[in-house]
Chains A and B, each alone.
Chain A
Amino acid sequence: MLKKLLRYDLKFLFRYWWIAAVASLPASVMGGFAIKLLNSEFPTTGAILVAVLMILATILTIVAVAVMPTIMIAIRFYKNLYSDEGYLTFTLPVSRANLLNSKIISSFIIEMASVLTVAINVLLMAIIAGANFSEIFQGYVFRVGDGILALAFVLLFSLLVVSSTLLMFVCISVGAVITKKHKVLAAIGIYYGVTGFVSGFSQLFVSLSSGLIVGIVLSMKEDVRTLVGSLMALPIILIIAAVVVGLYTLVHWIMDRKLNLS
């Protein structure tokens, strides 16, 4: 049943996004030529104006590719579960866990597709604009721990994507159960309240601990610095993993025990 749920969730999420994703590729080619034009010797005023407009159009397209998934994920989650559609979704012969898992997996897939598309676009622009990659990576020496650092980064990034999606699900779910008339407004208010609190708290934590961490890392020999630095990501990964488990449990509990469709 999870596969079937996924199929319908993905179909909804990719419905409009793929158009923006496909459109972004020629836009990036155009943006690359525009950058090249600006870098050329003695460009005319008209050429500069056209190039700037082309770059703006490219940036807008890439921003659309990056932002659309979040909007589509929120719409899908709210409509499919907490609007009238919920009467059908929650009476399917499917467990609440599978309903939630499908939403999380499909959200992760489109977010990753979005990251990949943005990366391809940036690379495309850089190639066309004439970026010298051998110069960028010149002198780079592979160090012990680079692989672990990359792995830690991928894991951390994936967990952050899942946790931010789950945070959105929590806000929508809480908004849907605490009010009957202004569910969306309540969800937005809760989201900004929670993210404001979390960002304030994390800024405080970073400002208090960053000096100490940087001091420790800089005092080490260069060849072990990357390895130790990547290992220090472990507690952060564990904290975010715990947050993911907590948020998942909360959404599942609301869907299972507190559901009250109007």
Chain B
Amino acid sequence: MNVLECKNLSKAYKKGNFVLRDMNLTIPAGKIVGLLGPNGCGKSTLIKLICGLLQPNEGEILVCGEPAGADTNSLVSYLPERPYFDSWMKVDELLAYFADFYADFDLEKARRLLADLNINTTAKLKTLSKGTKEKVQLVLVMSRRAKLYLLDEPIAGVDPAAREYILKTIVGNYNPDSTIIITTHLISDIEEILDEYYFMGFSGVIRQSGSVAEAKEASGQTLDAMFREVYRC
């Protein structure tokens, strides 16, 4: 079963200036997928379209066979590239918020992960450091039993130790029936955990895609080296 299908998808922020043009993409269930490409190629736009933060000019997005919208938001767990919490809330209140709105939220798992990180759940978010906030956000997103996880630049702007923790959390809390889509240009950090990759060009053109293991074996290169070759300026 395909967890995500984009059919003839186009998005322009200004008339005629397409960020994505006639894009077609099919992603099956049970994979960790890297959506990789240079800055400005439309990775974040695609993610925002999938979770309904933007509306396409043309085309269709299906999540588990359903048109993307409020109903499919219950199937999608989204980690944006910035903290999206109300800073006056306490971590505990945030946990209650997720438990209230997401039927698939595993409160016990979230508490356990936060305890592992020694994060005080009675603390207000505004008192936490940027890195800790990002960890809280990741824990909440990965504590859902969603069908599709959309992680937009999850390791950008964090130190190497935090990167390691984030990747460990993603792999350790991943349900084999679900799909994780990770967008990033920090390929060397994530290529070890990816099953499949999509090299995305400008206007949403998929320049290269396939199994990471097969591509590495065939080319004798790392995914990072392949990326550099494809996008050489």
Contacts and interface: CB of A to CB of B under 8 A. Distances in A.
Contacts of A211: none
A257 B55 contact: yes
A79 B86 CA distance: 8
Interface stretch (A88-96, A156-164, A243-251): A88-96
Nearest to B72: A93
A93 B82 contact: no
Contacts of B199: none
A93 B86 contact: no
Interface string A90-131: 111111100000000000000000000000000000000000
A85 B13 CA distance: 21
Interface stretch (B32-40, B95-103, B114-122): B95-103
Interface string B1-35: 00000000000010000000000000000000000
A91 B76 contact: yes
Interface residues of B, number: 24
B13 A92 contact: no
Contacts of A4: 100-101
A4 B96 CA distance: 11
A8 B98 CA distance: 12
Interface string A45-88: 00000000000000000000000000000000001100011111
Interface of B: 13, 48, 51-55, 70-71, 73-74, 76, 78, 80, 82-86, 88, 97, 100-102
Interface residues of A, number: 23
Contact of A260 (B54, B78, B85, B97): B54
A255 to B, nearest CB: 11
Nearest to B51: A91
B70 A8 contact: no
Given A257-B55, A259-B53, A92 B86 contact: no
Contacts of A87: 53, 78, 80, 82, 84
B4 to A, nearest CB: 15
B150 to A, nearest CB: 9
Contact of B70 (A80, A88, A95, A261): A95
Contacts of A86: 53, 84
Given A85-B85, A87-B80, A92 B73 contact: yes
A85 B86 contact: yes
A257 B52 CA distance: 10
A1 interface: yes
A84 B73 contact: no
Contact of A84 (B54, B84, B97): B84
CB-CB nearest 6 A-B residue pairs: A93-B74, A87-B84, A93-B73, A88-B84, A87-B80, A95-B70
A146 interface: no
21 contacts: A79-B86, A84-B83, A85-B84, A87-B78, A87-B80, A88-B84, A90-B53, A91-B78, A92-B101, A93-B70, A93-B71, A93-B73, A93-B74, A93-B102, A95-B70, A96-B70, A256-B55, A259-B53, A259-B55, A261-B48, A261-B53
Contacts of A80: 86
A8 B99 CA distance: 13
A256 B68 CA distance: 13
A91 B100 contact: no
A201 to B, nearest CB: 33
B96 to A, nearest CB: 10
A260 B74 CA distance: 21
B84 A260 contact: no
Contact of B101 (A94, A96, A256, A257): A94
B199 to A, nearest CB: 26
